[in-house]
Structure 1
Amino acid sequence: MTWKSEDKEWEGKYISNPEGYLDFETMELSSVSVEIVIWPNQGGISGTIVSPYICKELPFLKYAQLRGNVNFFNSNKVEVEVWDYISGKQVILGKLLLSKVDSILIIKNISSSLLGELNNEIRLAKNPNLAKDEIKPDYDFCSKNISL
């Protein structure tokens, strides 16, 4: 558990191509197409993740879900499970370590998983142009990012 004000800093939609940053070039964002949405909740976070690999391997899902707890001693890190329901059973697809530096989210895969391109470190930035009620997954991500 962390202080509520620190948890709120996680809230947002993180993408590799945000508009609205003057220092975009120095952010060194990854060129992969990955989207993570995070909602904080009393020391924990929940959210969604989607990538072209997830779209191809799990075509019946529009995204996978995230859950984890913000580190009490370092509120800029959280270990999350990537999970969802498959055939009526809760399945853990992998584990990620998320680190936050200002508006940048650094993603590291910490378990063998079905997460494909997430085997390398990925850097995303929080989309600065969204109001709180606009922070939600892009339900058309798969149709826009993969060719069947």
Structure 2
Amino acid sequence: MTKPRRTAAQSRDVVYDALLRAARAGARCPTNLALAALLGVRSSSIPQKALVDLIAADKIVVTTTPFSREIFIPELGTTIRASKAPDGSLREAERAHAIARAERREPLPPVLDRTPCFRCGNRADIGCDHQAASAPYIIDLEFAA
């Protein structure tokens, strides 16, 4: 059974309500993908069409720049901005957060060579009289106890 589809007017109302909620909460402008998820669709063209309809109805005024979008809502007299500031300030914050998250990660466990010695059959990571151990690290005896 298929889901009933929203009409363009219903989509426009849902998008406008989301913009009003974001403006009242002081949040950032939702992206087209976030609005599409709110509408329950996969395509970001449906929220974009709803925004165009809202502009035509004089409910919002949109100003776009290469990295940003500002939406002025005359009903509230407020402007909401997209999450990426044109000066890149949020990008630097996101980059610093990503670096900090990467530094917190633990290193991957070492890959051990377990190929047996061709003379005695001992594993290479253990070592034998014919070859040194191939383990990339040696456990300090103080910490092993």
TM-score in same-fold range (> 0.5): no
Q: TM-score range by the shorter chain?
A: under 0.3
Q: Which has the higher contact order (CA 8 A, sep 6+)?
A: 1
Question: Higher helix fraction: Structure 1 or Structure 2?
Answer: 2
Question: Higher strand fraction: Structure 1 or Structure 2?
Answer: 1
* TM-score normalized with structure 2 length: 0.24
* TM-score normalized with structure 1 length: 0.24
